[in-house]
């Protein structure tokens, strides 16, 4: 018991240290205009890592990823499939807001990558949900369009990776909502299959 407690405490301290490294980062030009470095929300250790593109205006203001309209849609879908705050860790390809909500440039994603790698190693997920073409491209280094790859599992080095549409895209084109819904259902099933979450009783 004491050992578990110490272990949790170490994990929290390790993560806190990582966050402070992120907060000091000035590796690319995005640092100049940020209000906050947006690192994560959810659990510091989680079976599921959800990766988006980069913070928008509200995320920049609050320092928390996916708190705007896209985040609300994402939360609705996660809740519907009984994936709880404890089960996921949400972050982005870049931790600072690209001006005008443009996609991160390759050099910005490249400069941010060591931080994402470190974060990944701290969280130790087994399942990764990549939301949108930008997350897919920079995470996998593959330029194939998201429409082609969405909903298809990639199994790599013991990880299960699922590309899907970005919720912002679904908000612009609601006909895609069912695809995102199905993909989150697939993530939920995978987490159960891997015995990382209980079976869903439907
Ligand atoms: N869109 C993203 O890709 N990430 C966020 O954190 C918010 C909106």
SS3 144: coil
Which pTM was predicted? 0.96
Q: How far apart are CA 137 and CA 151, in angstroms?
A: 15
Contact predicate 179/151, CB 8 Å:
yes
Q: Tell which atom from ligand 1 comes closest to the C-alpha of 135.
A: 3
Mean pLDDT of the chain: 96
pLDDT in the model for residue 5: 62
Burial class for 5, CB neighbours closer than 10 Å (0-12, 13-18, 19+): exposed
Q: How far apart are CA 160 and CA 132, in angstroms?
A: 17
SS3 125: coil
Name the token pair of 79. 């809740």
Q: What is the pLDDT of residues 131-178, one digit of tens each?
A: 999 999 999 999 999 999 999 999 999 999 999 999 999 999 999 999
pLDDT bucket at 1, cuts 50 / 70 / 90: very low
Give the mutation target among 37, 71, 90, 91 for probing the ligand 1 site: most ligand atoms within 8 A of CB: 71
CATH topology of domain 9-193: Uracil-DNA Glycosylase, subunit E (3.40.470)
Q: List the beta bridge partners of residue 14.
A: none
């Amino acid at each position: 018991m004491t050992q578990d407690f110490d272990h949790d405490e170490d994990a929290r301290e390790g993560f806190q240290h990582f966050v402070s490294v992120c907060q000091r980062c000035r590796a690319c030009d995005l640092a100049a205009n940020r209000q906050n470095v947006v690192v994560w929300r959810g659990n510091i250790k989680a079976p599921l890592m959800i990766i988006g593109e980069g913070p928008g205006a509200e995320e920049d203001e609050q320092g928390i990823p996916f708190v705007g309209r896209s985040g609300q849609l994402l939360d609705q879908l996660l809740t519907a499939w009984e994936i709880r705050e404890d089960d996921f860790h949400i972050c982005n390809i870049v931790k600072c807001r690209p001006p005008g909500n443009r996609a991160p440039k390759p050099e910005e994603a490249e400069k941010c990558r060591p931080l994402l790698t470190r974060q990944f190693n701290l969280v130790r997920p087994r399942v990764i949900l990549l939301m949108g073409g930008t997350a897919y491209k920079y995470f996998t280094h593959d330029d194939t369009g998201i429409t082609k790859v969405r909903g298809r599992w990639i199994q790599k080095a013991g990880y299960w990776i699922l590309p899907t549409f970005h919720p912002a895209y679904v908000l612009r084109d609601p006909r895609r909502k069912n695809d995102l819904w199905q993909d989150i259902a697939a993530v939920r099933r995978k987490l159960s299959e891997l015995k990382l979450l209980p079976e869903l009783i439907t």
